[in-house]
Amino acid sequence: MSFAAIRAPLRRQAFIQRRPPPAAKSNTGLYVGLGAVVLGGGVAYYLYGSSSETAKVTSTALKSAAQSAKVATNFVPTKEDYQKVYNRIAEVIDDADDYDNGSFGPVVLRLAWHASGTYDKATGTGGSNYATMRFHPESLHGANAGLHVARELMEKIKQEFSWISYGDLWTLAGVAAVQEMAGPKVPWRPGAQHIRDIFYRMGFDDQEIVALCGAHALGRCHSDRSGYDGPWTFSPTMFTNDFYKLLFDEKWVWKKWNGPKQLEDKKTKSLMMLPTDYVLTQDKSFKKYAKAYADDVDLFFKDFSAAFAKLLELGVPTQQFVASEAWIMQTVDDQKS
């Protein structure tokens, strides 16, 4: 995920059908009735209890039908409903086989980041609202190369939970990626129906910029996408403060190759840093924050959580939020304890 890749906001056009929000009333009885009609008692027991492939496929189809029924009845999702979506995202992230160190987490986080990072505070345009990266020309922008992987994963979840907006789905996926890879808890709430110059444009100060750069602890660059190549840390699927530690502890030299200018660690030549990463050790203001995060992982987690939560809400009008305060979604491990 390259911060150099975050680009000037694209002009967007969104054609949105608006309707008055549904009244916040209980539809429990109605949903129970629909469930009984759709699932049919004993059939439901077989489908959800059986381990056969046919049963699993049919079960998924029925779950999707149930979601559609919720939409048709002006379903008002609760925090618990969003937690179910979070749990499904966590499953998908972990089911990556040999893709990029065995996790879809970094590419999903990159999707949430790039979708939110188009915000321009001067014009009030861009941001995560409506997840417009689904459409041309934004989906084809060079900075978004490779993100089709994450968009396709999220599309499968959207089919399963048709009531959730794309904007909410993508930002919630970013939260899940951070939290499930041992990162800090990130405050999040649903709201959509849905180097300095870049970040100042989005309304971030120097401290927030340095904190957000710590996300480079996750994932790697790909030469066929951004042009750059290699991971930033030795554990690219674990959220740590290693990005900052390595910046100061390793000797960084220019990589001799035919690609764009990037640095590599002199000792192993297996890690990379972008020029915009290295500037965190050279700029006086940036350096004090980067060094503080290298020395104190708890401070980094606290500041990253706050800055990332701010990033995810860029471009979302206040009146669209369905909760007055942000939520803390539980990780899969939290729910087991």
Active site residues: 114, 232
Helix (H) or strand (E) holding 222: none
DSSP letters spanning 259-308 = SSS-EEETTTS--EE-HHHHGGGTSHHHHHHHHHHHH-HHHHHHHHHHHH
Spatial distance between the Cα atoms of 318 and 241, rounded to a whole number of angstroms: 32
Spatial distance between the Cα atoms of 156 and 254, rounded to a whole number of angstroms: 41
Strands 263-265 and 230-231: unpaired
The dihedral region occupied by 100, where left means phi > 0, alpha psi between -120 and 50, and beta the remainder, is left
Query: b vs e for 317-334, b when ≥16 Cβ sit within 10 Å of the residue's Cβ?
Result: eeebebeeebbebbbeee
The residue count of the chain comes to 337
Give 115's strand partners.
none
Helix, strand, coil percent content, the chain, rounded in steps of 5 = 55, 5, 40
Residue 336 CA, chain-centre distance (Å), reads 23
Coil vs helix vs strand at 197: helix
Q: Residue 146 has which token pair? A: 């490779």
* Residue 319 neighbours by CB under 8 Å, 6+ apart: none
